[in-house]
Amino acid sequence: MKKRILTILLACALICVSGCVHLDFTLGHHIAVSSGGIRITEEELRLIALQYKTENESYYKPLFGMDFWQMKVTEDLTYEEYIREYYIFNECRAILCLLEIADEQGISLTGAEKEEASAAAEAYFQALTEDAKTFTGADAGDAEELFRAYMIAGKTVEKLIEGKKLEVSDEESRVADFAIIRLGSQKEAEEILARYQAGESFLTLAKENSLDEKIEYTASREDLLPAAADIVFSMSSGDISDIILAGDSYFIIYLENSYDTLLSLNHKRNLLAERRFEGWKDVYEEYLGGSELKRDNRMFQALSLSEDGDFPYTDMFGFIRSY
């Protein structure tokens, strides 16, 4: 499996949005998570879950089918359970934290921002397939409440990180695609290098001669050991390295693409999200220590991300940012 640069959706959503009011209790809606007087309903929870479901499936389903949801992250935890517990639930906690801070500091939506939230939510909801709408059980009003929550959360984060430097350069966020041949001797490596220079395909040579079954990789600088990163990220697309001795093996690296555009942009967004979170992490941790967080465990357990159907990736945050 190529290494996936996963997006932490909450933090990414908070990069470019503004405004909102806290989530209000609506008669007839079941509450998924609450803290104090602020609540996330089941429908809003499922809209958050839909974002994670469709993003992950857009990447992994073509590679592994729907079975990827049941792959083990640990001995006792499937990927589906991991996303549900460590991403979706944590995102709900972060939203509640930011909305409580917003209430305390009097941060709210302007009239114009409320109209933007309404228009964005309506456009987003109309873009969903029938399967997606059924999965969430939500309507456009539920989407509007959630959009307002994200918008005020973004506005609150902007207040908390005010004055802090958070830039991420294109170079430090760069993700590259490359291939590696590992061989057992200097002689073999010299022969393979000569055959490549004579016109043979690097990938064909790798598949036929490398000691490792895995040949192609996608990685950012911090994914690699410093020595390897220095080599990979000093090359240009189409370059081949000299023979590299590491331990008892000899390596040849071919750089297929020095800048994977989509993954580099995602990685840049992740790095910026991490730095933004560092700006308000202390506040968040203090909140977690003193909050009276409640959640409906049965509701979370019933949240099946592996449900099959027509679920194209529909980015709710793109709709929020477009208004």
Same domain flag for 225 and 133: no
Q: What is the CATH number of the domain that holds 215?
A: 3.10.50.40
Q: From CA 147, how far away is CA 278, in angstroms rounded?
A: 24
2 within some domain: no
**For position 179, what pLDDT does the model report?**
97
Which residues 6+ apart lie within 8 Å of 242 measured at CB?
none
Same domain flag for 245 and 266: no
At residue 39's C-alpha, the angle toward residues 37 and 40, to 5°, is 170
**For position 278, what pLDDT does the model report?**
84
24 within some domain: yes
137 within some domain: yes
Q: Are 29 and 37 in contact (CB under 8 A)?
A: no
At residue 9's C-alpha, the angle toward residues 75 and 290, to 5°, is 80
The DSSP result for 273-288, as a single string, is HHHHHHHHHHHHHHHH
Same domain flag for 221 and 269: no
pLDDT tens figures, 213-255 = 999 999 999 899 999 999 999 999 999 999 999 999 999 999 9
111 within some domain: yes
Same domain flag for 94 and 131: yes
Q: Starting from the edge strand earliest in sequence, which strands make up the sheet with 216-220, in order?
A: 216-220, 175-183, 249-257, 244-246
Same domain flag for 254 and 266: no
1 within some domain: no
**For position 303, what pLDDT does the model report?**
96
**For position 272, what pLDDT does the model report?**
83
**For position 23, what pLDDT does the model report?**
40
pLDDT tens figures, 136-159 = 999 999 999 999 999 999 999 888
Give, as one character, the DSSP assignment of residue 87: I
Same domain flag for 56 and 74: yes
Same domain flag for 92 and 132: yes
Q: Determine whether 247 is exposed, middle or buried from the number of CB atoms within 10 Å of its CB (0-12, 13-18, 19+).
A: exposed
Same domain flag for 128 and 267: yes
> Can you give the residue range of the structural domain that contains 297?
9-166+262-321
**For position 189, what pLDDT does the model report?**
97
Domain boundary, last residue among 258, 276, 304: 258
Same domain flag for 229 and 268: no
**For position 282, what pLDDT does the model report?**
82
270 within some domain: yes
4 within some domain: no
Phi first, then psi: what are they for 168, rounded to 5°? -130, 120
Same domain flag for 95 and 217: no
Length of the chain: 323
Same domain flag for 14 and 95: yes
Same domain flag for 152 and 270: yes
101 within some domain: yes
Number of domains in the chain: 2
Which residue numbers in the chain have pLDDT < 50? 1-27
**For position 276, what pLDDT does the model report?**
82
